[in-house]
Amino acid sequence: MHDAGRTGIGAAVYCRRSLLARPRSARRSAPAVADEVDVNTAIIRQLNVSRVFHALREHPGSSQREIARSTGLDRATVSAVVGQLEDQNLVDRTPKPRRGRAGRPETALRLTERAGWFVGVRLDPQELHIVATTIDARVVAKRRAPGSSDVSTAVRRVAGIVRELADGEQVALDRIRGVGVGVPGLMDRDGRLALGPNLGWHDVPILELLRAELPVPVYADNDTKAAALAETLFGSCRNVMDFVLIIAHAGIGSALYQGGMLQRGWRGYAGELGHVKVVTGGRACGCGGHGCLEAYASERAILERMGHQGRACADLSEVAALAKGGDRTADAVLEDAGEKLGTVLATVLNLTNPHRIVLGGGLAQVAEAVLPVVERVVARDALDPARDGVEVIVSELGEEAVAMGGIALAMDGFLSLPSWLSLGQLRKRDTDSVVVP
């Protein structure tokens, strides 16, 4: 998530009232040095709000004592944060069944269902995927619609579906707490798409356009980076500090999560593994170059190569079925895709030493055929210590990985988390107790 549209930490422009608003009495008259103290204090408050929110999301029905234990925060801090969440009508209290006779009765806390919605969007040239969830990320509705390579058509269509969803489910638009959009391409930190090879878009202020169409908080980021956040919140990397996510749709996107942080690079463009050259002067790629990984191993590339050899398939599950039935063309195309992917992954292992490699999108559908090849090539090409113990798995989030990434973006935006923080870091430091006076 980027910080576009924010005037300061904890003051997201699109939030009607920041979760982190402090009472006036708590604000200090601020000489220069105290500004920095205030900023740090605000960040710690944000972290604490986020920790308690996610603890309630993952363990509904917890008592304050249990939240204190699971977050590592002291009980006074938990009590203060729960109070803030209650002020925003985000928390329900019910009596907690007693286990024994001793002690005072406890209250079970949970995020309230009526608190609103998040909406996640995968903006893809072929198809839009939209998911709506409750505030605790339970999916309540899904929609699909044709994609468009025309910017304004795509933006209007996304906005139209969000409005239709709200109408159809009788949710007032202002109950949508955030819309997160995963965009395939190089997104900078201000929500501008510098290059979307498979959309054919260059230098498009996509976030600004989406915000102009929707009167709710909107957040946007690269689709695979968004999906990586979803892996840490809802998927297979909840407690994994170092992983690489690779998703194949029309192109191939990747996201690098290291030390509990999503790596963005200088301008935000880090992670374009799909455009690593695997064949000098090879197949043409949507980026304008030749021989890129995604010209061999993306969903589009595999289907094209099958079509050129007289084996037209509608999707990758058909290719997978052909390969399983012994079709030599399907076998050869998937073998080659796995070889190219393995070559690039071996370099990634040597360079970044991840704990886990997660494959998603179309790659999940052909994993049975591609994974053994990838593993063989990685064993051949990566340094032994760098690949020792590394797990290669298929994403649990399936086809909605990017749309759930949109939910993760919206949730982070709602919690006013600055982009350089992530839940992974909170978990890593779960044993520390962070207290704000």
Chain contacts with Zn ion (rule: CB under 5 A): 275, 285, 287, 289, 292
User: How far apart are the C-alpha atoms of 293 and 272, rounded to whole Å?
Assistant: 10
Total length of the chain: 437
Q: CB atoms < 10 A from the CB of 289, how many?
A: 14
Q: Which is nearer to Zn ion, 255 or 287 (CB)?
A: 287
| Residue 229 C-beta-side C-alpha neighbours within 13 Å | 33
Report residue 116: phi and psi, to 5°: 130, -170
Of 73, 81, 72, 17, residue with least CA distance to 49:
81
- Closest separation between CB of residue 65 and Zn ion, Å? 53
Q: Which is nearer to Zn ion, 251 or 268 (CB)?
A: 251
User: How far apart are the C-alpha atoms of 223 and 428, rounded to whole Å?
Assistant: 25
Q: Copy the structure tokens of residue 273.
A: 């593994």
- Closest separation between CB of residue 287 and Zn ion, Å? 3
Q: CB atoms < 10 A from the CB of 145, how many?
A: 15
Q: Which is nearer to Zn ion, 120 or 253 (CB)?
A: 253
Q: Which is nearer to Zn ion, 256 or 292 (CB)?
A: 292
Q: Which is nearer to Zn ion, 72 or 289 (CB)?
A: 289
Q: Which is nearer to Zn ion, 282 or 289 (CB)?
A: 289
Question: Among positive and negative, which fits the CA dihedral 276, 277, 282, 287?
Answer: positive
123: three-class secondary structure by DSSP: strand
Helices (H), 172-298: 206-213, 223-234, 294-297
- Closest separation between CB of residue 299 and Zn ion, Å? 15
- Closest separation between CB of residue 335 and Zn ion, Å? 21
Q: Are 45 and 77 in contact (CB under 8 A)?
A: no
- Closest separation between CB of residue 422 and Zn ion, Å? 28
- Closest separation between CB of residue 292 and Zn ion, Å? 3
- Closest separation between CB of residue 353 and Zn ion, Å? 26
User: How far apart are the C-alpha atoms of 264 and 114, rounded to whole Å?
Assistant: 35
Q: Which is nearer to Zn ion, 264 or 275 (CB)?
A: 275
User: How far apart are the C-alpha atoms of 218 and 227, rounded to whole Å?
Assistant: 16
